[in-house]
Structures are given as structure tokens and as C-alpha cells.
A and B are shown apart, each in its own frame.
Chain A
Amino acid sequence: MIRWPELEKALASKRLSLPPHLKAGDPFWAEFRARASGIRQDTQAEQLSWPFYLWPRLAWGAVALLAVLLIALPWIPLRSTPATPATAVHTLDIVAPCTSAWILTLPSDTPQGESAIVIWVSGLEEENPS
């Protein structure tokens, strides 16, 4: 018959497998688990084990994240694209005689579509052949 000291000794030596005649529904087993949970003491190494468990995984996770960023970086716009077309007319000097001149922004139908900036000069005379 197995005695508590023997089980405690087995527990202390990390040999946790129980004798085959101890079944889960056995009252002896229930008492053993209750007592085992009470007598178990984490060693200092075990108390420090969680950082050593987490650190490599965090490091590998960071490496994986950085690798994904490294691959995706060329496709990530670092500067936002302006919503309005940046093509612009800053100064306009109509030298030839004309009736009117306009600077127009032709909008596109869709945000992805193309727009255009138009300088339109009306009433220009056709070139004199002479």
C-alpha cells in the first residue's frame, strides 16, 4: 500500500506519474490531489521561468512582425496622397491679344479617376500668314 510519504517523495522528485491502481475517481486520489496542491512549492527557477518562457516567443514575434514590415515597407505610403490634384498653375501671363482666359480644374468622376488642370485662352487670333 502506498503511503503519503512515498507519494510526497515521488512528487518532490518530479516523478509525477501515479501508480496504475490509482484511478481518477478514487477517494485516495482526490485526497492526494488536494494534498499535493498544498504541499507543492515552486522552486526559484520555476518562479523565474515565465519570463524565460515569454522572452523568446516575444522576440520571435517581434522578428516576424519586423520581417512583415520589411517586406511590406515599399508598398506602404510614408506620406499621405493629397486628395486634390497637386498639379497647379501658379502664375499665368497671357501675352497675345485674346478675349478671355481661364484656369479650370476638370474633376474626375471617381476618386481614382484622372483630373486635369486646364489653361484655356479664348479669342486668340489665328496667325496671320504674312
Chain B
Amino acid sequence: MKPHPLMNFGTFGLLAAALLIPQAALAQMSPPSEPMLRIRLVQASPEPGPTDSALATLADLLRRNMTFRSFRLLDVKTLRLPAAQTLPFSGRFRLSLEGTAAALTVTLSRGSQTILNTRTSLRGRTPLVIGGVPDGSGGTLLFVLDLLAESQP
């Protein structure tokens, strides 16, 4: 019996889809490359004042939950994970970072004194804020660590 012409098209379409879909699925399921880590040094103050626009989202979150009213961005550094390096910041602060986003060891030091070390995991857009460090002028310093999307500056 001669097969219907549409049968040939249908069979071809099914075969093509069967070949293409697993590749697309595999492409999506392949492990993503390690992201960029952004570290922002922020000076927070309970006094009303201007807040840098780059900190608007974080500032809203902190204002709702803490007593700070104004935030000033002092420094921004980025590095690609996995990391194994120490970043210097103003005020003789140093932030040592080692590991991947899923297992990142962070050590905060000031001069020769280690303040804290912690092992964390960073995911998505949820930042890790290390705060409470006096900046020497009555303000409080926050180290804000978050993962940076590739498209962001």
C-alpha cells in the first residue's frame, strides 16, 4: 500500500523534533558558567540624606528593616568566581574571598586584625550584607556581596 504523502512529512517532522529537542534541553540543563561577584562598600547613616540611585533597591530593603535612612556607595569591585583573592577597600579594610558562589569563604579584616570569617552560599539576586562595622566617622559600613548578571555593568 502506498503511504499517504502527509505520512512522510509527519514522520520527518517527528524525527526532526526528536533530534532537536534533546539538544535544546541539554543546552538548557548544562551547568552555567560561574557568575561575577560584586562587592559594594556602602556607608549607611541613620540621618536623612541623599542615597545613591545604584543602591535604591537595597536601600529600600534596609530602610524597611533597619534604622538607616541614607546610603552612600563608597566603592564597587567585581571579580569572577571561583575566586581566591583579597580585595583592598578604603579604611584599610580587606575582604578575602575564596571559592565558588555555592561555597564562598569570606574573611573581613581591618589592617592586621581579622574581624570575621564566614562560609556562605550566594544565589540569585539575594545579597549578603556584612554590616555593623564602624567607619571611624560615626557611620556604619556595609559590605554588600551579590551575584552580578552578565548584562549588568
Let me know if B116 and A62 touch, CB within 8 A: no
Let me know if B113 and A96 touch, CB within 8 A: yes
Minimum distance in angstroms from B114 CB to a CB of chain A? 4
B-chain residues with CB within 8 Å of residue A94 when the two chains form the complex: 115-116
- Cβ-based interface call for A22 (8 A): no
Let me know if A78 and B28 touch, CB within 8 A: yes
Q: Considering only CB atoms and an 8 Å cut-off, how many residues of chain A contact the other chain?
A: 48
Interface string of A40-63 (1 = CB under 8 A from B): 000000000000100110111011
- Complex Cα distance, B49 from A36, in Å, reads 94
B-chain residues with CB within 8 Å of residue A127 when the two chains form the complex: 91-92, 110-111, 113, 136
Contacts of B106-145 to chain A: CB distance below 8 A: 110-111, 113-134, 136
Q: Considering only CB atoms and an 8 Å cut-off, how many residues of chain B contact the other chain?
A: 51
Let me know if B129 and A118 touch, CB within 8 A: yes
- Which B residue's beta carbon lies closest to that of A65? B17
Minimum distance in angstroms from B109 CB to a CB of chain A? 9
- Complex Cα distance, B107 from A92, in Å, reads 10
Question: If the complex has contacts A69-B21, A106-B62, are A59 and B126 also in contact, measured as CB distance less than 8 A?
Answer: no
- Which A residue's beta carbon lies closest to that of B131? A120
* Stretch among B6-14, B33-41, B72-80, B82-90 lining the A interface: B6-14
Let me know if B126 and A85 touch, CB within 8 A: yes
B-chain residues with CB within 8 Å of residue A18 when the two chains form the complex: none
Minimum distance in angstroms from B42 CB to a CB of chain A? 12
B-chain residues with CB within 8 Å of residue A89 when the two chains form the complex: 118-120, 128
- Cβ-based interface call for B61 (8 A): yes
